[in-house]
Amino acid sequence: MTNISADQNVKLCCASFYQSDIARMLLGDVFHPGGLALTERLGAAIGLERNDSVLDVACGRGASAVHLAMRFGCRVTGLDYGLENLAAAGDHARSKGVTRLASFRQGDAEGLPLEDGTFDAVISECSFCTFPNKGTAAVEMARVLRPGGRLGLTDMTITGRLPEDVRSLLAWVACVAGAGAPEDYVATFQEAGFTGFTIEDHGEALLDIVNSVRRKLLGVELAARLGRLSLGNMDLTEGKRLARRAVELIEAGVIGYTLIVARKG
């Protein structure tokens, strides 16, 4: 029998959630607040240009990688832990005719299977918060960037302490569990050798996606009742309560969504 470490379990659990029918139903193909409009803002904020070589760490189904390749003419490598989503990412690139610009490979953000100094830019959307060893992931992102290369991140943030009733649900939303305050992320990336930070608040994008998920949870409930969808071990009642609480916490400024840009020093 193979022994899976707690950290590996978090990664597998996250990858498997984002490959589930429920994630697709609730979020579509783009698994981050702000959708491709915020991806495009991120691309502009890090000054992407034609022929830049970009790494998208934890690329999910490849929507952002393909979008950036089409919009900026850059070459994007998407990396993710989840094989099924990577297969879908390859299909998406083929369907858009950008396989020369967007390619995908399996790997772990905390041990990138890539050479030092390969990329002009590294991005990661709504994923850094899920990595158990953020310092290691930040060092890996710095390692694969060329000197002066750019970092662009959008991610969930938590300022202060999450209330107990929300903490108890964290196994289901590993994403929120690992989030920190924007200044925590900055400190982690500073330690990894990044400088020149710019931060933008995109809390409104998080509110939009949570409200959209709340509406869609009603559809999920109906589909499950009609036997058209298996909920697996998902507790829908708790899911609905969490979504409601998430809106309150976003409005109170406890949970947020932040764009961070920096440069490898």
Ligand X SMILES: C[S@@+](CC[C@H](N)C(=O)[O-])C[C@H]1O[C@@H](n2cnc3c(N)ncnc32)[C@H](O)[C@@H]1O
Q: How far is the CB of 243 from ligand X (least distance, A)?
A: 16
Number of alpha carbons in the 13 Å side-chain half-sphere of residue 79: 21
**Six token digits for residue 193:** 């050798």
Q: How far is the CB of 51 from ligand X (least distance, A)?
A: 23
Given the rule CB under 6 A, which residues bind ligand X? 11, 14-15, 18, 30-32, 58-60, 63-64, 80-82, 85, 108-110, 125-127, 130-131, 175
Closer by beta carbon to ligand X, 142 or else 228: 142
Q: How far is the CB of 104 from ligand X (least distance, A)?
A: 11
Q: How far is the CB of 156 from ligand X (least distance, A)?
A: 9
Closer by beta carbon to ligand X, 64 or else 159: 64
Helix (H) or strand (E) holding 86: helix 83-95
Closer by beta carbon to ligand X, 68 or else 225: 68
**Six token digits for residue 200:** 């933008």
The arrangement of strands across the sheet holding 102-106 comes to 102-106, 75-80, 53-57, 119-125, 145-158, 255-264, 194-201
Closer by beta carbon to ligand X, 103 or else 130: 130
Q: How far is the CB of 258 from ligand X (least distance, A)?
A: 14
Q: How many residues does the chain have?
A: 265
Q: How far is the CB of 73 from ligand X (least distance, A)?
A: 21
Closer by beta carbon to ligand X, 32 or else 92: 32
Closer by beta carbon to ligand X, 4 or else 222: 4
**Six token digits for residue 196:** 């020149």
Strand-pair partners of 119: 145
Place of tokens 């916490």: 249
Q: Name the residue with the smallest CB distance to ligand X.
A: 60
Tell me the C-alpha distance between 228 and 104, whole Å: 32
The DSSP secondary structure of 151-213, one letter per residue, reads: EEEEEEEE-S---HHHHTTTTTTHHHHT-B-HHHHHHHHHHTTEEEEEEEE-HHHHHHHHHHH
